[in-house]
Amino acid sequence: MHTATTIRDDQHVQADVRRFAAAPFDGRPVETATDADLDVRLFRTTYLPSFVAAESLEEKNHPVEADLAWLRLTTPGGVPTALGLLSVGRDPSAHVPGAYVQFIRYQGRDLDAPVIDQQELRGNLVATATRLSALLSGHLRTRLTDGEGFREEQLPDYPLEALRETCMNAVMHRNYETSHAPIRITWFDDRIEVTNPGGPYGQVRADNFDRVHDYRNPNLARAMKALGYVNRFGRGIFRIRSAMARAGNPVPEFHVDSSSWTVVLRKWP
């Protein structure tokens, strides 16, 4: 027979279950994961300081379990959420199968061309951003152009700002819940195509995606802003277009359907 205390405890657990079931996917617990799947050192050194000022961290002495739950990386009971795995997980794709980036570089303009580089980035948000920055920078080539006066300037074939914004927006907006496909970065000699699973979400439609904003992964979006991977919400497409225009590249193309987004960035003429 249940005591009154046990009944209250059961009701509390049931309320938690209902609350997490109603949350966006990135806020739900991933029952196959344990706290050992989270990189606690990365959380303490990089993630937590992005949300809390250094002086505040020195003043308080919360156990790490409380901070993880406070920032929704775990449930109050210590089960990692999808946000926790994506942000500071040791191997997010072990529990969220589509949580990785596939990069392929062709020496040519179509899929029949030889492959000169192919990589899979299966790290957490911090590791993926670091590797992406080095990978994309390493494949950029420069050209000489007239600068001010008699000086020449070296310009990359794609503005790094546009590449970074495109890739980070794909990480932020992709469908992690029902698709096991990765984000794909396909680099040809004349263009780069970045495709992520997940069509328009919420208020966003194929005819208003550059004016209306909604978030499939609101917790992940908040984390990415705190970590500095996106500057302001709702400005990604504007920043991509502006960076390409300043560099003299063709206007970027956005192909949106019910199941995916593809951004095509073309090299300067």
Domain ranges, residue 63:
2-90
> Nearest-CA neighbor of 31 among 21, 39, 41?
21
- 107 & 137 share domain: yes
250-260 tens-digit pLDDT: 999 999 998 89
- Running DSSP on this structure, what letter comes out for residue 227? H
Mean residue pLDDT across the chain? 87
| Shared domain check, 173 and 64 | no
The residues, ordered by sequence, that sit 6+ positions from 111 with a Cβ below 8 Å of its Cβ are none
Q: Total structural domains in the chain? A: 2
What percent of the chain is predicted at pLDDT more than 70? 84
Mean pLDDT of 82-110: 97
| 124, 90 Cβ separation under 8 angstroms | yes
Domain harbouring 229, CATH code:
3.30.565.60
Residues 115 and 200 grouped into a single domain: yes
| pTM, entire model | 0.86
The identity of residue 63, as a single letter, is P
Say how far apart CA 259 and CA 198 lie, in whole Å: 5
Whether residues 154 and 189 fall in one domain: yes
Mean pLDDT to the nearest integer, 31-50: 96
Q: Does residue 120 sit within a domain?
A: yes
Residue-wise pLDDT for 12-27, tens only, equals 444 444 555 578 999 9
Alpha-helical runs (H) found in the chain:
4-22, 40-42, 48-51, 54-59, 64-70, 82-88, 125-139, 160-173, 218-227, 236-247
Whether 231 shows a pLDDT value over 80: the answer reads no
